[in-house]
Structure 1
């Protein structure tokens, strides 16, 4: 029989005993002890992803259309011609000149039943090196589908709008120099047009710009040859007059050339003059 004093002591001892924490039973096994998931053949997509290596990101930017012609093969000589004059992407390089050269080279080869644009798409990467090759490799896969796409992206990259603006301004502000002959001025003007073939100036605007850039003597000479106001003539007639005047101006230098050539065993060669077709190609 407990006395009241013993009961008080027992209650006091029970209050002083700290509670015991019982960890709940874990129904989930640790990850390291779990068995790997079982992949069944019913999930074909998952199985393919596990068995096949990733292929994304390895495709080229240029998509070459399928060539169905029999026995088609790019000759080593053609590759050599393309690689002989590669474009590196330097500031002083002219991407327009590179495209013109590339077109000239690829046009020398004809393959039966094979579009020329397909050949160009296949060969163009071989014409690039250095920064230009790196640019093409960084283009998104399968983002260039046609030859026009490739030329457009190439020009936009290596002939930025700021360069186009500067050249357009040079064309607009063109002036014949004090010591410059008519032919020299015409040749320099064409160099500017050739350096920026996408200038956007109409043929009439180009002729007007060139005429107003000349000194008064050369303007009078053009008006006299036109039988009136030079700019009232049709553009093709204006080009014919310019071509004729260029030949006349150069003929004045022929005695000097022949005199120099007379002391040499090699006959004198007169300078090549721009033909009408060449002049039209510049506009």
Structure 2
């Protein structure tokens, strides 16, 4: 039996012979390519398309704030809306409640704008300028959410306004209610 002290002889002794050591070659093609080829050339620098300063880049964008209503060019010199006319329009604003009649609002608005006649200024331009002042609440939000430049004429505005606040489905429901009406005798 062997003890630990004798364990150094666990391996058989080989004859001493002149050993030849061959060099170890490990092929790493990705490393060889990296060192043998010329270093890659950096792509040419292209000028920056946006030459704004950092302060300008951090400013809030100002695009996309156009109004939905496009007011045509006015040929008159020194034209401005009178403060009293704006007050008249704002005194009877359309709020967009269920019980409000958008047709009545348009009729009232037409009466007010009919009173103002200015040479070289079409009445439709005056109506387009004044109409936003006649809206409040959900109506104003509706007009602000319309696509910029989507309302070009007074007829466009009336059509979109009526379709939004008195849609064809509401007309159909009211018509059905009227035709199905029956008087009950108690």
TM-score by length of 2: 0.71
RMSD between aligned residues:
3.3
Offset from partner CA, 1:187-224 (integer Å, 9 cap, x none): xxxxxxxxxxxxxxxxxxxxxxxxxxxxxxxxxxxxxx
Q: Give the corresponding residue for 1:24.
A: 34
Task: Measure how far apart 1:125 and its partner are.
Answer: 0.6
Structure 2 residue 152 is the aligned partner of structure 1 residue 145: yes
Aligned partner (choices 103, 112, 116) of residue 105 of structure 1: 112
Which SS does the other structure have where 1:6 is aligned? coil
Residues 109, 140 of structure 1: CA spacing in aligned structure 2 closer, same or farther, 3 A cutoff? same
Offset from partner CA, 1:207-250 (integer Å, 9 cap, x none): xxxxxxxxxxxxxxxxxxxxxxxxxxxxxxxxxxxxxxxxxxxx
How is 1:104-143 mapped onto 2 (pairs within 5 angstroms)? Answer: 104-143=111-150
Offset from partner CA, 1:19-76 (integer Å, 9 cap, x none): 67458264255xxxx997436xxxxxx5xx6569966412111011010101211000
Which SS does the other structure have where 1:133 is aligned? helix
Following the alignment from structure 2 to structure 1, what is the Cα–Cα distance between the partners of residues 165 and 46? Answer: 53
Following the alignment from structure 1 to structure 2, what is the Cα–Cα distance between the partners of residues 19 and 170? Answer: 89
Which SS does the other structure have where 1:104 is aligned? helix
Residues 35, 18 of structure 1: CA spacing in aligned structure 2 closer, same or farther, 3 A cutoff? closer
Following the alignment from structure 1 to structure 2, what is the Cα–Cα distance between the partners of residues 133 and 140? Answer: 14
Aligned partner (choices 156, 161, 180) of residue 168 of structure 2: 161
Following the alignment from structure 2 to structure 1, what is the Cα–Cα distance between the partners of residues 184 and 134? Answer: 38
Following the alignment from structure 1 to structure 2, what is the Cα–Cα distance between the partners of residues 73 and 177? Answer: 58
Following the alignment from structure 2 to structure 1, what is the Cα–Cα distance between the partners of residues 174 and 46? Answer: 66
Q: How many residues align?
A: 159
TM-score by length of 1: 0.49
How is 1:1-283 mapped onto 2 (pairs within 5 angstroms)? Answer: 5-7=18-20, 10-11=21-22, 14-15=23-24, 21=31, 24=34, 26-28=39-41, 37-38=46-47, 50=51, 56-173=63-180
Following the alignment from structure 1 to structure 2, what is the Cα–Cα distance between the partners of residues 143 and 24? Answer: 60
Task: Measure how far apart 1:92 and its partner are.
Answer: 1.8
Following the alignment from structure 1 to structure 2, what is the Cα–Cα distance between the partners of residues 59 and 114? Answer: 22
- Structure 1 unpaired stretches of 5+: 40-45, 179-283
Q: Give the corresponding residue for 2:12.
A: none
Task: Measure how far apart 1:137 and its partner are.
Answer: 0.6
Following the alignment from structure 1 to structure 2, what is the Cα–Cα distance between the partners of residues 50 and 124? Answer: 41
More helix by share: 1
Q: Give the corresponding residue for 1:258.
A: none
Which of 1 and 2 has greater Rg? 2
